[in-house]
Structure formats: C-alpha cells, structure tokens
C-alpha cells in the first residue's frame, strides 16, 4: 500500500500543487459463497481483500469538488455541491462520486468542497467490487473532512443507493457492506435482508485465490432478466417477497406446480443460501473436506441449475480441484455472468496451482489465466 500511497501523493501534487491533508482507503472484496443474493435477500460470505482504492484530499474554501483519477490517465472532473449535480451522459467513473455526493446532500449532510485524487490497484477482473470500493472511499472521505463520523453500515447504504439511483446498477448491498466493514483474517457472513452480520475466522495458512480466465463473457440482458423473472415468479407462487423465505422442503413439495426452468433457478438460489451458512461453519472449524464438497456443489449448481455453463471457468475449476483435492475448494464466481473463479486453499498449494494452470489451462483453452492471491483485510479507514 505504501507504494500506491506514494504514487497517489505524486498525482495529487502534480494536479493541485501541494501535498494532501488526508488519505483514505476502501478495499475490494471477494465472495467465498452465496450467489446471487441481491434480489433474493439471502446470505453471502464475502471478505474484504488487500487490493484497495486510495483517496487523497484537501478541503477547499468553496463548494466545489475537483477530482482526478490516476486509473483514468489523470482525467479531471469537477462539480458544484451547491446546485443539483447532473450525471454525465456517458457512464464514467465520475458518476460514482456525483452519486455519493448527491445521496449525502439528500440526507442533509453539509459537505465541504475538496480537491481529490484517486488511485487504485484493484485487478481489472470482474467480481472484485471495484465500484463499491470507489463509492465507499468517497463516502468516507467526504463525511470525514466535513466533520461527520458515520457508521460502516451507513456508508454502505449510501454507497449502494448511489450506485442504484445515480449510476443505474441495482447492485447487492454485499460489496459496499464488506468494503466498509471488513475485518482482517475474517470473512463476513451477511444476511442481505436484515443486514445483520457475523465475522467468520479464516484459519491461518489459508489463501484466497481469485482467478480471471481471460475469457470475457458479456452478460446478455435477456439472460439476466430471465433469471430475475424466474426468481420473482417462484417468490410470487409462494406469496413471499424473495426466495430467502422459502425452504428446500417447501420448494420440493410444490415442484410439480412450477415451470421446470423456474424450479431449477429456485433450487439453485435456495440451496446456495443453505450452502453459504454451511460454508461459514466449515471454514471457521477448518473442515476443508466439507468446504471442498460445498464449493463443488455450488459450482455445479450454478452451471446446471442456474444456467451458467462457461467452458473456460469449468476448465479452471477442474484444474484447480485436481491440485487442491480435499484440502480446499474452488468454484465459479459471479452470480449472473460467471466470468471468474474463487479458490480457498492452503498457502503451500499456491505454486502447484500456478504451475497446473500454466500447463493445462493453455492446453485446453489457448488462454493464459491471471491469478491473484488475496488476503482478508480490514474495511475502509483513514490512513
């Protein structure tokens, strides 16, 4: 982080001619189990990781926000806090800042103007919550330099609303919540309905591995909409708000009354909810044989029941599982796209996984996967 902080300082000095007064950080995340939860009000098991968005800031004497991003070639944007903030027509990174600022103002916070520089080292792979990291660090920075000390839950909710209402992405609370309130060496078992959470200890000598297959799978809106529609259809059938209220037993009793594809989608979501809680127990107790079984079940259910059959990801899972065996687990990650994988494994297996992926993945796909070793880290903070 120190090297990133130095680069951020240089960026700030280059743009604003002085050193910043404050530094803030918010981490990316990885989801160990629980997909998709955002429209099913279920459980998820993410953790904050050691890749962050850093923000440097100095308050101004007016109501203007002037911000530059080192991840976007030093592009500079500015907007006034004293007038309605208009989103850019094009979907740009600055809309996240404008959205967070708008949500804070809507709540009655008196926000100070500031010069801001932003720089992150989050890998440009999908599924690590980079947008949530940006939103949370902006919410933390703007409130802190304006004299407010918000709870992590409030930072998360403001950030989620900004993305939903201002950026147009109806995202889960998971990303923002764990970015705001993650804990070092712990995963967070989060109930997306009540927002109650429990910190789950990750045993020592266990690594988290994010794997980007470098085979981009673009989400087709109809795919997403159809899955969402099937989930809503089943919830309506049972007269509940979301499938987090339905048990597998109740689903099976009504199986013949449901359209086949809707049943399969529902079976995946409900069983995933149960698996997430079981995974938390297996992880905290060090039961890696059970963890391995649960992660493979999750992968197969996402592939077969939820209809995310991605050959490149299947190859990743098979290669990694062959190496880790019952000492860890691996599955597809990304609840509606399926474009990355997550592995939980002993640290002494990392190099063997790298070698196997380098040797066998290219043979099977003609691609080179990118592997990112992650550590469970603390949530957003002042540096």
CATH number of the domain within which 220 lies: 3.30.70.890
Which residue has better confidence, 183 or 239?
Answer: 183
For residue 376, the 8-state DSSP code is B
3-state secondary structure 210-254: EEECCCCCCCCHHHHHHHHHHHHHHHHHHCCCCHHHCCHHHHHHC
Which residue has better confidence, 198 or 95?
Answer: 198
pLDDT recorded at residue 187:
98
Residues 269 and 351: their CA atoms lie apart, in Å, by 34
How much is the pTM? 0.91
Of the candidate ranges 7-11, 128-132, 197-201, the one whose mean pLDDT is the lowest:
128-132
Of the candidate ranges 180-194, 280-294, 328-342, the one whose mean pLDDT is the lowest:
328-342
CATH (domain of 75): 3.30.230.10
Q: What is the mean pLDDT of the chain?
A: 90
Taking the alpha carbons at both ends of the chain, their separation in whole angstroms is: 10
Residues designated catalytic = 175
Q: Is there a single domain that holds both residue 318 and residue 248?
A: yes
Of the candidate ranges 123-137, 162-176, 180-194, 298-312, the one whose mean pLDDT is the lowest:
162-176
The sign of the CA dihedral 24, 118, 138, 126 is negative
How do residues 168-193 score in pLDDT, each as one tens digit?
Answer: 766 778 999 999 999 999 999 999 88
Domain boundary among 201, 225, 249: 201
- Quick check: helix, strand or coil at residue 373? strand
Q: Is there a single domain that holds both residue 157 and residue 251?
A: no
Kindly state the helix (H) or strand (E) to which residue 80 belongs, with its residue range: strand 75-80
The count of domains in the chain is: 2
What average pLDDT score do residues 317-326 get?
97
pLDDT above 90 coverage of the chain, percent: 65
Q: Is there a single domain that holds both residue 69 and residue 158?
A: yes
380 part of a folded domain: no
pLDDT recorded at residue 332:
93
381 part of a folded domain: no
Model confidence band, residue 337 (pLDDT cutoffs 50, 70, 90):
low
pLDDT recorded at residue 220:
45
87 part of a folded domain: yes
Tell me the two tokens of residue 29.
Answer: 């995340």
Domain boundary among 164, 184, 201: 201
121 part of a folded domain: yes
Q: Is there a single domain that holds both residue 118 and residue 190?
A: yes
How do residues 35-64 score in pLDDT, each as one tens digit?
Answer: 866 567 789 999 999 999 999 999 999 999
Tell me the DSSP string of 337-355.
T--EEEEEEEGGGHHHHHH
3-state secondary structure 256-300: HHCCHHHHHHHHHHHHHHHHHHHHHHHHHHCCHHHHHHHHHHHHH
Q: Is there a single domain that holds both residue 301 and residue 197?
A: no
Q: Is there a single domain that holds both residue 282 and residue 341?
A: yes
338 part of a folded domain: yes
What average pLDDT score do residues 347-359 get?
96
Q: Is there a single domain that holds both residue 181 and residue 316?
A: no
Boundaries of domain holding 172: 2-201
């Amino acid at each position: 982080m120190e090297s990133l902080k130095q680069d951020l300082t240089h960026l700030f000095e280059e743009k604003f001619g002085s050193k910043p007064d404050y530094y803030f950080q918010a981490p990316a995340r990885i989801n160990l189990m629980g997909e998709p939860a955002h429209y099913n009000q279920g459980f998820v098991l993410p953790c904050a990781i050691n890749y962050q968005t850093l923000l440097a800031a100095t308050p101004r004497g007016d109501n203007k926000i002037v911000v530059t991003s080192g991840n976007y070639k030093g592009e500079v944007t500015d907007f006034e806090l004293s007038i309605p903030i208009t989103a850019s027509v094009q979907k740009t990174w600055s809309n996240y800042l404008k959205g967070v600022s708008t949500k804070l103002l809507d709540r009655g916070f008196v926000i100070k103007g500031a010069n801001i520089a932003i720089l992150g080292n989050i890998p440009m792979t999908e599924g690590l919550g980079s947008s949530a990291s940006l939103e949370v660090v902006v919410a933390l920075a703007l409130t802190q330099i304006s004299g407010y000390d918000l709870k992590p839950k409030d930072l998360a909710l403001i950030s989620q609303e900004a993305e939903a209402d201002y950026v147009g992405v109806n995202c889960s609370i998971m990303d923002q919540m764990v970015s705001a309130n993650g804990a070092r060496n712990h995963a967070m078992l989060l109930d997306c309905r009540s927002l109650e959470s429990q910190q789950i200890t990750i045993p020592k000598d266990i690594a988290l591995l994010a794997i980007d297959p470098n085979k981009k799978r673009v989400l087709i809106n109809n795919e997403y909409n159809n899955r969402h529609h099937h989930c809503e259809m089943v919830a309506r059938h049972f007269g509940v708000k979301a499938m987090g209220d339905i048990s597998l037993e109740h689903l099976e009793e009504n199986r013949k009354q449901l359209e086949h594809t809707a049943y399969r989608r529902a079976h995946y979501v409900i069983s995933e909810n149960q698996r997430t809680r079981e995974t938390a127990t297996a992880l905290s107790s060090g039961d890696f044989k059970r963890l391995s079984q649960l992660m493979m079940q999750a992968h197969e259910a996402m592939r077969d029941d939820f209809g995310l059959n991605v050959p490149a990801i299947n190859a990743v899972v098979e290669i990694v599982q062959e190496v880790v065996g019952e000492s860890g687990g691996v599955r597809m990650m990304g609840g509606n796209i399926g474009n990355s994988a997550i592995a939980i494994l002993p640290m002494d297996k990392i190099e063997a996984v790298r070698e196997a992926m380098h040797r066998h993945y290219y043979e099977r796909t003609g691609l080179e996967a990118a592997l990112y070793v992650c550590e469970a880290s603390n949530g957003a903070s002042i540096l």
